[in-house]
Amino acid sequence: MSKLEQTYTAVLRWLVYALVIVSGIGIAVMIVTICADVVLRRFGHPVVGAYDIVKIAGAITLATALPYTTAVKGHVAIEYFFHKLNRTGRLIVDTFVRLLGIVLFGFLGWRSFLYGGEMFHNGQVTQTLELPIFWLPWVIGVCCVVVLLVILYNLLHPNKEMIKP
């Protein structure tokens, strides 16, 4: 492995781990917000904007967990169908699916950046707290690009795990 490949892999691993930490923080924010809202409702003082906070944290959690899930190959696969193929068939199907994934996540990332720009120009905000949310599609777009890079790594390094679960 060349020095450039080692650097690419190290930076990509670091980025994937950083995003999974953000995902964990998103889960914690959802838990704290929901628990506080339930307890405070009992006393007649619900958390204002709890729905907005949970919705934003949920979107961030899902988006930032995607690169890690892809890196550890944690997605559901059709194993029964896949193992019925011979080695060459598996290689062809795996390569085709990875190339399709690169195209899909490239498109999703691109469209997320454009949608975030539209939301910015329109001044779109959350319903209750009126927080600007143009940045949320941008976060999703960044995560899609990272997933694309992880898929590219997996395509170029078959049978080699980038991250062990």
Position 77 scores a pLDDT of 66
Residue 74: the pLDDT is: 77
pLDDT tens digit sequence for 58-98 = 999 999 999 999 998 877 666 677 778 888 888 888 889 89
pLDDT of 122 reads 97
Question: What DSSP string describes the chain?
Answer: --HHHHHHHHHHHHHHHHHHHHHHHHHHHHHHHHHHHHHHHHTT-PPTTHHHHHHHHHHHHHHHHHHHHHHTT-S---HHHHHHS-HHHHHHHHHHHHHHHHHHHHHHHHHHHHHHHHHHHHT-B-SSS--B-THHHHHHHHHHHHHHHHHHHHHHSTT--SS--
- Looking at residue 60, its pLDDT comes to 97
Positions of the chain with pLDDT under 70: 76-79
